[in-house]
A and B are shown apart, each in its own frame.
Chain A
Amino acid sequence: MSWITKTLTSSIGRKIIMAVTGLFLCTFLVVHLIGNLQLFKHDQGAAFNTYSHFMGTNPIIRTIEWGLVLGFGFHIFEALVLTRRNKTARGAQGYVSNHSEQNSEWTSRNMGILGSIILIFLLVHLYNFFWRARFAGDLPKMGGADPLTSDYDNLYMAVVSSFHIWWYVLLYVAAQISLGYHLWHGFRSGFQTLGLNHRKYTPLIKYVGYVFAVVVSAGFASMPLYFFLFTNAQGEMAANAPAILQTVASAF
């Protein structure tokens, strides 16, 4: 083995891969969330569809997409390797009584479970939107007057119809709660693993991480909840939607 593979397969090396990919995926979450906010725009999905068409066709984005695939791939692969290794490290005989809840946070100890829920969600999510848009090609087209956008996939309608299926919404929300907890630990953990710990900045990183976890997961969860609770089958806001939503929507 060369020094590189040795480094990357050492316990710390693998953790560094986890941290780097994890923090990279955090940046993806930011982009994804901001883009998706266009779902809230009151234009029958025109902006959102244009955006998704751009994301699906732009060569730079398509290149970065591979980075994303690798990011997820390594994050998941290293997680599996490390989990196995860490289970072996405890040995065959575990504790009869173990009260780790008294010395650590639940999220920190259950990143694997949280990550697995997110992974299941991710597969469903990818199949439903990504796969259908990119490979199956069975999504309805936007249509309409504008010749530029009329043959764009109408991903918006696919989203709206999916978000009217109760179990789908439930899966989404559950996954976002998991993501929130995953980030709650993962964000600061990434910095710690990279050795970025300083008595001045570490508290800051910790709280930024908490805010990040809440904003990102709440932001994503708000979409299925909004469509399920407050819109009709076309994605138009129902009359019974709270006034605040009406105000926010009109501001977009």
Chain B
Amino acid sequence: MAGSNPNAKPMNLTLKVWRQPNRQAQGQIVEYHVKDISPDMSFLEMLDVLNEDLLHAGQDPVAFDHDCREGICGSCDLFINGRSHGPEKGTTTCQLHMRKFSDGDTITIEPWRANAFPVNKDLSVDRSAFDRIIQAGGYVSVNTGGAPDGNEIPIPKEIADRAFEAATCIGCGACVAACKNASAMLFVSAKVSQLALLPQGNVERKTRVENMVAQMDKEGFGACTNIGSCAAECPVGISLENIAILNREFLAAKATSNNLA
């Protein structure tokens, strides 16, 4: 079957892939060659080809995280040619297509690098630090049942839209991976902003930002130095404005909350 671009020629590529058997082991870059890669393939489909080749050759396939392959679950997490999710802006690895590469290219593929994201195996990393940050306060404390009617509190469309834009974070970790400081501020700020903007989040506004920032620091992420790599590499376009909101929320909470600890 032909693809959407019948004139596209198949490509041969050299891959330099980080291989590491498990968390404790030393890793290294290993070179592989893949042939007849269609430009219409997604990047992960190209890796599928590599893995099928490896398996046929009796070698261990490359472990990598992926799931929905439509850019929303946030599972895929490859550092491709020195960039989070590769060269295309606003794109997850699974939505990156091989037409962005050329025949004969050498592609370096590494896992996210951060102390807080240890490598499980090869290209798969442990991002549970993100979950723990959310557990520290990234929610509205409402139990199931007893919620007032959804239309009880009108929310200006503009506010709802801004909250939505912050809420679209997929938790992939590209921001941490791209940041020189391995800072998780963009991730944290997206959740803090979303809930700070909405009236529902207002009740726990102060404790939320205090606890989430404390957890972020505890996990060992770096501090933001406003470089902007995170927002530039974010596949869903979370804006740096959120980090300013986080800073502001943090400062205001620390200055005015009753929390002496």
**A residues lining the B interface (CB < 8 Å):** 2-3, 6-7, 10-16, 82, 85-86, 88-91, 93-100, 102-105, 108-109, 111, 185, 188-189, 192-197, 199, 202
B43 at the interface (CB under 8 A from A): no
Contacts of A98 in B (CB 8 A): 82
- In the complex, which residues of chain A have a beta carbon less than 8 angstroms from the beta carbon of B254? 3, 7, 13
Task: Give Cα A85 to B228, complex, Å.
Answer: 18
- Whether B229 lies near A86 (C-beta < 8 A) is no
Chain B positions within 8 Å of A99 at CB level: 81-83
- Which of B116, B217, B227, B246 has the most chain A CB atoms inside 10 A of its CB? B227
A141 vs B240: C-alpha distance when bound (angstroms) = 54
CB distance from B122 to the nearest CB of A (A): 13
Q: Mark B232-251, 1 if CB is under 8 A from A, else 0.
A: 11000000110111111111
Q: Is there a chain A Cβ closer than 8 Å to B75's Cβ?
A: no
User: Is B245 a contact partner of A195 (Cβ separation < 8 A)?
Assistant: yes
Find out whether the CB atom of A95 lies under 8 angstroms from the CB atom of B240: no
Residues of B whose CB lies within 8 Å of any CB of A are 16, 18, 27, 29, 79, 81-83, 87, 108, 110, 113-116, 178, 180-183, 185, 213-214, 216-217, 220-229, 232-233, 240-241, 243-251, 254, 259-261
- B221 partner, pick from A7, A89, A185, A193, beta carbons under 8 A: A89
Q: Given A93-B113, A102-B83, A199-B241, A88 and B220 touching (CB < 8 A)?
A: yes
Q: Which of B87, B217, B246 has the largest count of A CB atoms less than 10 A from its CB? A: B217
| A-B residue pair count with CB separations less than 8 angstroms | 152
Taking a contact as CB atoms under 8 Å apart, the answer to whether A11 and B233 are in contact is no
Q: A100-B82, A102-B83, A197-B241 are in contact. Are A86 and B178 (CB under 8 A)?
A: no
Contact of B244 among A16, A93, A196 (CB under 8 A): A196
Contact present for A96 and B225 (CB under 8 Å): no
Whether B244 pairs with A89 at a CB distance below 8 angstroms is no
Contact (A91, B82) CB under 8 Å given A97-B110, A192-B247, A199-B241:
no
Q: Are the CB atoms of B225 and A108 closer together than 8 Å?
A: yes
**Identity of the chain A residue whose Cβ is nearest the Cβ of B119 in the assembled complex:** A93
| 8 nearest CB pairs, A to B | A195-B248, A197-B244, A99-B82, A89-B222, A86-B181, A86-B222, A11-B223, A103-B232
How near does chain B come to A246, taking the closest CB pair, in angstroms? 44
Partner among B182, B217, B226, B259 whose Cβ is within 8 Å of the Cβ of A90: B182
Nearest CB in chain A: distance from B107 CB, A: 9
Alpha-carbon distance A95/B241, docked complex (angstroms): 28
B251 and A195 contacting across the interface, CB-CB below 8 Å? yes
Contact B181 A89 (CB under 8 A): yes
List 26 A-B residue pairs with CB atoms under 8 Å apart, sorted by A's residue number: A3-B254, A12-B246, A12-B250, A15-B247, A86-B180, A86-B223, A86-B225, A89-B116, A89-B183, A90-B222, A91-B114, A95-B113, A96-B29, A96-B110, A97-B82, A100-B178, A102-B82, A103-B228, A104-B180, A108-B226, A192-B240, A194-B247, A195-B245, A195-B248, A197-B243, A202-B241
- Establish whether residues B110 and A95, one from each chain, have CB atoms under 8 Å apart when the complex forms: yes
Contacts of B245 in A (CB 8 A): 195, 197
Residues of A contacting B259 in the complex (Cβ-Cβ under 8 angstroms): 3
- Determine whether the beta carbon of A11 is less than 8 Å from that of B114: no
- A15-B223, A99-B81 as given contacts; A104 in contact with B229, CB under 8 Å: yes
**Whole-angstrom distance between the Cβ of B246 and the nearest chain A Cβ:** 7
Say whether A95 contacts B224, CB under 8 Å.
no
**CB–CB B220/A100 < 8 A:** no
| Residues of chain A contacted by B224 (CB below 8 angstroms) | 11-12, 15, 193
Which residues of chain A have C-beta atoms less than 8 A from B178's C-beta?
A: 100, 103
Cα–Cα, bound, A173→B149 (Å) = 66
B260 and A3 contact, CB distance less than 8 A: yes
**In the complex, how many angstroms separate the beta carbon of A63 from the nearest chain B beta carbon?**
26
Closest B residue by C-beta to A6: B261
Task: Tell me the bound Cα distance from A192 to B213 in angstroms.
Answer: 17
Report the minimal beta-carbon distance from A182 to chain B, rounded to whole angstroms.
12
Residue of A nearest to B261 (CB): A3
Which residues of B lie under 8 Å from residue A102 when comparing CB positions? 82-83, 87
Q: How far is the CB of B28 from chain A (nearest CB, A)?
A: 9
Cβ contacts under 8 Å, A82 to chain B: 181, 222-223, 225
Residues in A with CB closer than 8 Å to B180 are 86, 90, 100, 104, 109
Q: Which among A91, A109, A199 is the interface contact of B115 at CB below 8 angstroms? A: A91
A95 to B123: give the CA distance in the assembly, Å. 12
Please name all residues of chain A whose beta carbon is closer than 8 Å to the beta carbon of B241 when the two chains form the complex: 197, 199, 202
